[in-house]
Amino acid sequence: MSPGGERGVAKEPVLLSGGNPQISKGDGDAPVQAYIAAMPGWKSDAGKRLDALIMRTVPAAQKAVRWNSPFYGVEGQGWFISFHCFTKYIKVTLFRGTSLDPEPPVGSKDPEARYFHIYEDEAPDEALMARWIGQAAALPGWIP
C-alpha cells in the first residue's frame, strides 16, 4: 500500500506556504510536470508556458525538482533557471542574472542571481524572457 493513500491511488501533493507544491526530489521531466500540475490556480498554466518557453529556447536543457522547485540546467554547466510559487506570483530565478543584458529586475542576496516575477494579471514579455533564458543557458550555471 502506498503511504497516505489506497493502493494504486496517487496522493495529492501538499501545498506549502504560499501555495508552493511539495514534490519529491527527482530528475527528468516527470517530477517537473508533477510540480507544474500541482501549481495552484492560474500558476499551473503559467508554469506550463514557462516550461515550454525554456524547452523551446534550450531544447537540450535537463530538468529536475530540487528543494520543491523545478530546475533547468545544461549538462556539465549546472543550473541556469528555476521557479517557485508564492501566494501572489511565481518567482523565476536566473542564477547568473547579473551577467544578463538587460539584467532581470529583482535583486537577490546572492550577488549573481536576479529574479523576475510572473503575476496573474500581467502578461510576461516572452521575447525578453527567451533572451534571458538563452543567455543564461550559455553561461556556467549554479552548482550546489
Where residue 54 sits, what CATH number does that domain have? Answer: 3.90.1150.200
60 contact partners, CB below 8 Å, separation of at least 6? 74, 75
Rounded CA-CA distance 123/46 in Å is 10
When pLDDT is averaged across residues 110-137 and rounded to a whole number, the result is 96
Single-letter code of the amino acid located at 5: G
Task: Summarize pLDDT for 26-80 with one digit per residue, the tens.
Answer: 999 999 999 999 999 999 999 999 999 999 999 999 999 999 999 999 999 999 9
Partners of residue 14 on adjacent β-strands: 22
> Does some domain include residue 71?
yes
Residue whose C-alpha is closest to residue 55's, from 81, 89, 92, 93: 81
> Does some domain include residue 3?
no
Number of domains in the chain: 1
